[in-house]
Structure 1
Amino acid sequence: MIKTIYLAGGCFWGLQKLMKEIKGVVHTTAGYANGSGEEDAEYQKVCSGRTGFRETVRVDYDPAEVDLAALLHMFFYVIDLEAVNQQGNDVGSQYQSGIYYDAADKEAEETVLQLSAIEQERYPHFAVEIKPIENFFDAEDYHQDYLDKNPGGYCHISPKKMEEARAMLVNPGDYRRPGNPEEIKEKLSKEQYHVTQENGTEPPFKNAYWDHFEKGIYVDVVTGEPLFSSYDKFNSSCGWPAFSQPIEELSMVQKRDRSFGMVRTEVRSRAGNSHLGHVFRGEMESPNGVRYCINSAALRFVPFDKMEEEGYGYLKGIFK
């Protein structure tokens, strides 16, 4: 059964192209959502900013191939979640970001509200509209699949992110965070809870994985979402597990951290919003100059020989 979600993320040219790259999306339509009425659903009127319409992409997807959580996480990955009436260089109320869902689809509503709540924890000035869909009108023909017709056309979403959408390997919908905070507390040790939920840091050289190099993957201790592999782990003098890159950049949320009088880049997990550690660049010990310095307490190791048994067999190919 095909399902539908409506996503507004700035100029609909780029967002339509991005969504088309995701396996399981069966059709996309650029259009205008939640505005004054059909008589005003015309590009020049919408650009006036007085119609209430948002440039929106209707995304029809097959939930047997891709779930809504994956689409929403990709959407959050490419937009500025705190921008009001703006995305990239585009300014105006028609560029306000939003997620619009069918009010009759309670499962979709629950997913939208749950994942939006996680993003609101990450971004105190979260500005994405979350509403039921009221109306939607197709945009003019020349707007449909614009970047396919005009490959060099303007797009506020980078080619790198387009490629990441096309190559997305890990489905975050398979690794949902428990809805009840008490479930998380019961699941974790005191140290794991302190690190992942209270932004703590464990002692260097006195943690499980700083000098651990067995073949396998490291997953979020809260959700089980795969984050890093032993293939990208390197020997670092810092005293914490060090990785040159994650399994997928998509699984990382990076935020500016000004705590303790320093300016660093914090790393959090995508699906669980667990505090993982920090990422540093210009590192001499790293093969690519990048060091993801991660707390062992935020991770659980899955040996290569156990990956199939634990449901991670689809990732074995990264070791070839």
Structure 2
Amino acid sequence: MKVVVVKSLMALGLSSVVILAVFASTSSKVDSSEAKADSHEVVMWQLATFAGGCFWCMEPPFEKLDGVKDVVSGYIGGHKNNPSYAEVSSGTTGHTEAVQITYNPNVITYQQLLDVYWRQFDPTDAGGSFVDRGSQYRSGIYYHNEKQKRLALMSKDELAKSGVFSKPIVTEIPAASEFYRAEDYHQDYYKHNPIRYKFYRYRSGRDQFLAKTWSKEQENMSHQRAEKPMSHDVSEFKKPSDDVLKQRLTPLQYKVTQKDGTERAFSNEYWDNKKPGIYVDIVSGEPLFSSTDKFDSGTGWPSFTKPIHSDAVIEHQDRTLFMMRTEVRSKLADSHLGHVFSDGPAPTGLRYCINSAALRFIPVEDLEKENYDQYAQLFE
């Protein structure tokens, strides 16, 4: 159990001058970020919430990143409303120390934030973080939407396979619950108490662990990674285990793609989508269909006259439900997509009736950002 008294005394050793400095520094940070935002017509600020042990140590790596507007220390994942630091430190509220990041996705991606996150702590430690012991220092990625969940699970899986750590990755990936801002004296602690912060950080063993774990080469490789969906390159994609798929996919997505299920007509995501773009496999990211071949079949499911290219899908005879049909599956992930019928419009006369739950839509304006720029020519 961590000696809470020492850390509390260090934290509370603030003068009124320091409090004013906190206000001035925070105001300056927000003004600077908003000035950057003014250069864009519309900035849709997004949230990312990460836990990696003591929040004092988790603020600095993110505050220095371009595109980050604010980083706030706080508490998440517990059962008590508006807990105090003393209550959280006791380990009785269920919360963990975390930071909540406000960022501009046009400048920095969630994947890039994840890359920074993984290099700040020991994700194999289930009992706390360095000298700070207890569940209140457990690590976690608290996702705010399904895309963040997918990217977080994917990055955790990639880290586990990378060989950087010999032990299992135990970092949690739950949905974000209520985030409670920590007391003012915890905010930007490294700026306002630099000597105490450096002393605490050094004694914690965090820097020594990170220096030993992450080589210079690994640092450079991680910085060069760009946000992209699960690879659609045949040479790169490897289908995850069934357990990983159950975590990564929604229950409906798993049922449709892995158990040959069918979603409800007129009550799915893309049946009436008229935006230009491409549709990719929800598991592998492989391109499957284009909006240029989509039509309103009146069935309540997304319908296409043909795949995005001739060998994008595989067709099998399906004798279930006491009838003969032709099943359509993805080539790389072997996901069940739907069926193809011969009652479609010209020029093919075919109707590829596909489940939305098996697809992810990439709007034409995001093709380059998501590494599908080779398909932009379809919309020229």
Give the structure 2 partner of residue 20 of structure 1: 63
User: Quick check: which one's strand share is greater?
Assistant: 1
Letter of the 1:50 counterpart: T
**TM-score for both structures, normalised by structure 2:** 0.43
In structure 2, C-alpha distance between the alignment counterparts of 1:61 and 1:111, rounded to whole Å: 16
The one of 61, 73, 80 equivalent to 1:37 is 80
**SS of the residue 1:4 aligns to:** strand
The one of 73, 93, 115 equivalent to 1:73 is 115
Letter of the 1:95 counterpart: Y
Give the structure 1 partner of residue 176 of structure 2: 133
* 8 A Cα contact 1:100 1:130, kept in partner: yes
- Indicate how the Cα distance of structure 1 residues 148 and 36 shifts in structure 2: closer, same or farther if over 3 A, else same: same
**SS of the residue 2:98 aligns to:** strand
1:222-261 aligned within 5 A: none
In structure 1, C-alpha distance between the alignment counterparts of 2:103 and 2:109, rounded to whole Å: 8
Give the structure 1 partner of residue 242 of structure 2: none
Letter of the 1:20 counterpart: E
The answer to whether 1:184 aligns with 2:236 is yes
In structure 2, C-alpha distance between the alignment counterparts of 1:101 and 1:176, rounded to whole Å: 16
The one of 105, 115, 121 equivalent to 2:161 is 121
The answer to whether 1:101 aligns with 2:150 is no
**TM-score for both structures, normalised by structure 1:** 0.51
In structure 1, C-alpha distance between the alignment counterparts of 2:221 and 2:102, rounded to whole Å: 18
Give the structure 2 partner of residue 64 of structure 1: 106
**SS of the residue 1:131 aligns to:** coil
* 8 A Cα contact 1:22 1:168, kept in partner: no
**SS of the residue 2:173 aligns to:** strand
The answer to whether 1:111 aligns with 2:164 is no
The one of 52, 58, 65 equivalent to 1:9 is 52
In structure 1, C-alpha distance between the alignment counterparts of 2:237 and 2:157, rounded to whole Å: 19
- Point out the structure with max Rg over C-alpha: 2
In structure 1, C-alpha distance between the alignment counterparts of 2:97 and 2:153, rounded to whole Å: 21
> Cα offset for 1:185?
6.7
The one of 108, 113, 130 equivalent to 1:88 is 130
In structure 2, C-alpha distance between the alignment counterparts of 1:185 and 1:56, rounded to whole Å: 33
Taking only the aligned residue pairs, the percentage that are identical comes to 28
In structure 2, C-alpha distance between the alignment counterparts of 1:60 and 1:26, rounded to whole Å: 5
Unaligned runs of 5+ in 2: 1-43, 239-370, 372-380
In structure 2, C-alpha distance between the alignment counterparts of 1:33 and 1:61, rounded to whole Å: 19
Letter of the 1:119 counterpart: L
* 8 A Cα contact 2:115 2:222, kept in partner: no
* 8 A Cα contact 2:230 2:237, kept in partner: no
The count of corresponding residues between Structure 1 and Structure 2 is: 180
The one of 166, 173, 177 equivalent to 2:226 is 173
- Indicate how the Cα distance of structure 1 residues 141 and 168 shifts in structure 2: closer, same or farther if over 3 A, else same: farther
- Indicate how the Cα distance of structure 1 residues 23 and 185 shifts in structure 2: closer, same or farther if over 3 A, else same: closer
Deviation string for 1:243-280 (max 9, x for gaps)?
xxxxxxxxxxxxxxxxxxxxxxxxxxxxxxxxxxxxxx
- Indicate how the Cα distance of structure 1 residues 53 and 158 shifts in structure 2: closer, same or farther if over 3 A, else same: same
Unaligned runs of 5+ in 1: 187-310, 312-320
The answer to whether 1:46 aligns with 2:88 is yes
**SS of the residue 2:158 aligns to:** helix
**SS of the residue 1:173 aligns to:** coil
In structure 2, C-alpha distance between the alignment counterparts of 1:65 and 1:96, rounded to whole Å: 29
> Cα offset for 1:23?
1.6
Give the structure 1 partner of residue 8 of structure 2: none
Higher RCO (CA 8 Å, separation ≥ 6 residues): 1
> Cα offset for 1:37?
2.1
**SS of the residue 2:236 aligns to:** helix
User: Quick check: which one's helix share is greater?
Assistant: 2
In structure 2, C-alpha distance between the alignment counterparts of 1:135 and 1:97, rounded to whole Å: 17
* 8 A Cα contact 1:23 1:66, kept in partner: yes
In structure 1, C-alpha distance between the alignment counterparts of 2:178 and 2:61, rounded to whole Å: 23
* 8 A Cα contact 2:75 2:98, kept in partner: yes
**SS of the residue 1:130 aligns to:** coil
- Indicate how the Cα distance of structure 1 residues 111 and 97 shifts in structure 2: closer, same or farther if over 3 A, else same: same
Letter of the 2:151 counterpart: T
In structure 2, C-alpha distance between the alignment counterparts of 1:52 and 1:98, rounded to whole Å: 13
> Cα offset for 1:63?
0.9
In structure 1, C-alpha distance between the alignment counterparts of 2:100 and 2:154, rounded to whole Å: 21
